[in-house]
Amino acid sequence: MYQPKKVGDALLDASARTKPKKSGLKSTLLARETQSEDPPSLLPARLGMATRAQAKGKAMQKAAGNERKPAATVFTPNRQLVRTPPPPIDIPMTGTPMTPPSSTNPASAPAPAPAPAPAPANCSPPHTGEHKTPVQQAHDTLQVVFNHLKEFYREACNKAQQGTDPSRITVEIPFRTFEEIGSKVGEAVQQLQKQSIQPENFEERFNRLEQMLKDTISATTKTYAQAVTMPAPQDSQTREVQQRNLERKVQQRHERAKHEVVLTVHEGRPDTREKLAQQTHAEITARLQDIARAQTEGGAPTIYGIQKLKSQDIRIHCSTIEEAEQLRKVKWENAYDGLLVRQPKYGIVLHGVPTGLVDPNNTHDPELAKQLEDQNRGTGLRIAGVKPMRRKLRDDAHDYSLVVFATNPDMADLCLKHGVYINQRRFPAEKYTPQFQVAQCYKCQGFGHYAANCRSPHDVCGKCSEHHHTSQCNNETYKCANCRGEHSARHQHCPAKIDAIQKMTIRKRGTQAYFNQRNE
């Protein structure tokens, strides 16, 4: 029977392990003793025998001379080390492709996966990946709130059936339940707000994108020469922006005209025009300032300077509208012969005037203006000028639009209300708004601007749409530069021109019908 070693035995084992290089029978016996399972009672006898044998061995070694020493004993542990066996299947190296095991080798085939455990009854169904709209998510959230409220409603109904006064029925709601109801209602509100922020119909958007893609694919491809000769297309949005800029400039010019006084020279005074052209700005300003001070009581407005216009007129800018009104009342003929104040004009348009009634080539005759004033005494019309609305008329034109300019806005508004009579024939009047006429450029043939403000680097022919001036065209075929149709760019039935006219007509309807708002 095995007995545990005592403290002395442990010390002997330790001394034997710390001196493994000593040779002799004693060390061998000690090593064997550490591995043996004999009882410790035989240890002293064996130690004595080992001592005598060791002494005898040393004597024999001295006598024999250089005799080889015995090898030192090696300590071997009682417990045998067990090496971990290698895995049955080779582990693939990094970067090698994974190959499934062969089905012919049953040993290498993987074990079948265990069958999945049945889901509990109260487990929610797996997520199918279906996308829910914010409205559907809000519906599901409010359904939870409805279920809680339905329970409390049933409890209240039970109390009412037991005879409790309905006005005194109270229902206790746990705080956790009440908190859940509040949070669910808040989530539903946020989900509905998302729906209101993103009301766009994505189906319509994708349909529109698909149609645009089809139109792009179906468009014919062009060579480099065709792309260079074709002018850049001008979409409706660009035309609208250009037209709005033109309207803004006209409005700014009208506001600026209230602070300005323009002096013009009568046509019968060419010597006065030549004199004004020769004098300097300082000389003309000093002469006008002297005349204004002589004719204005209580102090004349200060004239800081003048501006010579291309029309050989003189423009004076005032700080206020009142100063401009004072300078308009000055008789400038005392400064220069034939110098008058150019009065503002308020135009009215008479459509459908026969060419035989009023000659379009003789509208500048002063007798025509006097006749019109005599026939429209009821409105007090004072005419500042008459002209055709279009510069050039067709040779076979039977009627045209006549523009009559009045000197007073109230007179013009009366004509708009009651019409204008020409040889006892009444013609309805319309407010003259040149800013709402379709502007077409003679350089690039586009709409919304004139040639003076055109930014095109080259001319575009109005007949064949190539890069040259219309007067230099030798082609026999017509090609519109705007719609690519077989007609000139200024044809009255051009779809692009008709579209521009319709848009301008819609914008014109939103303006004031009269010159003064109080007359509307």
> CB neighbours of 292 closer than 8 A, spacing ≥ 6?
300, 301, 303, 327, 330
Of the three residues 399, 432, 465, the one that is the final residue of a domain is: 432
Q: In terms of domains, do 443 and 388 share one?
A: no
Q: In terms of domains, do 280 and 311 share one?
A: yes
Domains of the chain: total:
5
Q: In terms of domains, do 390 and 469 share one?
A: no
Contact present, 415 and 381 (Cβ < 8 Å): yes
Pairwise CA distance, residues 12 & 301, whole Å: 133
Residue 309 lies in a domain: yes
Tokens 């998510």 identify what position? 137
Q: In terms of domains, do 330 and 268 share one?
A: yes
Contact present, 72 and 20 (Cβ < 8 Å): yes
Q: What percent of the chain has pLDDT over 90?
A: 20
Residue 13 lies in a domain: no
Tokens 């139109």 identify what position? 215
Please compute the mean of the pLDDT values over residues 130-139 and round it to a whole number: 75
Which domain range does residue 366 map to? 346-432
Give the lowest-confidence range in 87-101, 412-426, 450-464, 481-495.
87-101
pLDDT of residue 304: 92
Q: In terms of domains, do 335 and 251 share one?
A: yes
> CB neighbours of 107 closer than 8 A, spacing ≥ 6?
88
Is residue 232 over pLDDT 70? Answer: no
Residue 148 lies in a domain: yes
Q: In terms of domains, do 373 and 453 share one?
A: no
Is residue 435 over pLDDT 90? Answer: no
Q: What tens digit of pLDDT does each residue of 329-342 get? A: 888 988 898 898 88
Q: What tens digit of pLDDT does each residue of 475-490 get? A: 989 999 999 899 999 8
Cross-strand pairs, 385: 405
Pairwise CA distance, residues 414 & 417, whole Å: 5
pLDDT of residue 178: 80
Residue 270 belongs to a domain with what CATH number? 3.30.70
Of the three residues 341, 367, 402, the one that is the final residue of a domain is: 341
**36 falls in which pLDDT band (50, 70, 90)?**
very low
Q: In terms of domains, do 454 and 421 share one?
A: no
Contact present, 511 and 435 (Cβ < 8 Å): no
Is residue 350 over pLDDT 90? Answer: yes
Residue 405 belongs to a domain with what CATH number? 3.30.70.330
Is residue 22 over pLDDT 50? Answer: no
Contact present, 348 and 416 (Cβ < 8 Å): yes
Tokens 């220069």 identify what position? 336
Of the three residues 314, 341, 368, the one that is the final residue of a domain is: 341
Q: In terms of domains, do 380 and 353 share one?
A: yes
Tokens 């403290």 identify what position? 7
Q: What tens digit of pLDDT does each residue of 277-317 get? A: 899 999 999 999 999 998 888 788 899 999 998 888 899 99
Pairwise CA distance, residues 288 & 292, whole Å: 6
Q: In terms of domains, do 253 and 328 share one?
A: yes
Pairwise CA distance, residues 212 & 203, whole Å: 14
Q: In terms of domains, do 455 and 500 share one?
A: yes
Q: What secondary structure letter does DSSP report for 392?
A: S
Residue 213 lies in a domain: no
Instruction: Give which of 347, 366, 360 is closest to 390, Cα–Cα.
Output: 360
Contact present, 331 and 296 (Cβ < 8 Å): no
Pairwise CA distance, residues 116 & 123, whole Å: 15
Is residue 37 over pLDDT 50? Answer: no
**103 falls in which pLDDT band (50, 70, 90)?**
very low
Most confident of 194-208, 231-245, 382-396: 382-396
Q: In terms of domains, do 326 and 390 share one?
A: no
Contact present, 450 and 261 (Cβ < 8 Å): no
Q: In terms of domains, do 512 and 425 share one?
A: no
Pairwise CA distance, residues 433 & 349, whole Å: 9
Q: What secondary structure letter does DSSP report for 109?
A: S
pLDDT of residue 388: 92
**Number of helices followed by number of strands (H, E) in the chain:** 14, 10
Residue 117 lies in a domain: no
pLDDT of residue 257: 82
